Chains A and B, each alone.
Chain A
């Protein structure tokens, strides 16, 4: 049995405007199907918009958020969203919303706010790190 390699994905392109998220998602799905291990996906720069809770694409376009959540469920990978990039772009979990005194959490379920240190850690324990920008 091939144990496969451990991967970390870094996603920096905005969903629907760039290819980055779509390619990263398809790559993640493919590597899990090929018995590799996905340690984590880190969303940075405009990639944080992948975690927007209210993202509502047209019916005939890929539903990125639910596919990210399905990938995380299937692989055990963590969906980490850079907290500094996220907050200034309006993506907050309930705790950050309360802390900053604004109403409503905007981070989708299954995603978690994380620091860059968690990207460094994920890449350190992975055999491969791929960037999608």
Chain B
């Protein structure tokens, strides 16, 4: 690896369960953190549903993503950002979420991070 690891912003736009986007976004986040990168996640559009409290694994026999999101802090991924209007558009607020999040504008985060990956 290069001497200075890059910082990674992982943007999640898709809901959990129906596709593998979220799982694959989380896999990249975990590997990035393992390689010493500073990693943050930004949830917007349908992606905010990934953080809603009380999710099971779903009916498709796939692994759920909620346990992985719970474990992010073990990998020093502490920064979870949410687009506030994506939440309010769906009749949700931060009380509905299983995790501590911060509201942030995507444009500001894109400026702050070295690399952005969108799922």
Contacts and interface: CB of A to CB of B under 8 A. Distances in A.
B27 A45 contact: no
A116 B21 CA distance: 15
A10 B31 contact: no
Interface residues of B, number: 19
Interface in A79-133: 84-85, 115-117, 119-121, 123-125, 129, 131, 133
B21 A45 contact: yes
Given A116-B31, A117-B34, A120-B32, A44 B118 contact: no
A133 B12 CA distance: 13
A4 B118 CA distance: 25
B6 interface: yes
A116 B27 contact: yes
A111 B118 CA distance: 24
B2 A125 contact: yes
Interface residues of A, number: 18
A115 B28 CA distance: 10
B1 A121 contact: yes
A33 to B, nearest CB: 25
B118 to A, nearest CB: 6
Q: Which 9 A-B pairs have the closest CB atoms?
A: A116-B31, A120-B35, A124-B6, A124-B2, A123-B115, A120-B32, A129-B115, A45-B24, A117-B31
Interface of A: 10, 12, 44-45, 84-85, 115-117, 119-121, 123-125, 129, 131, 133
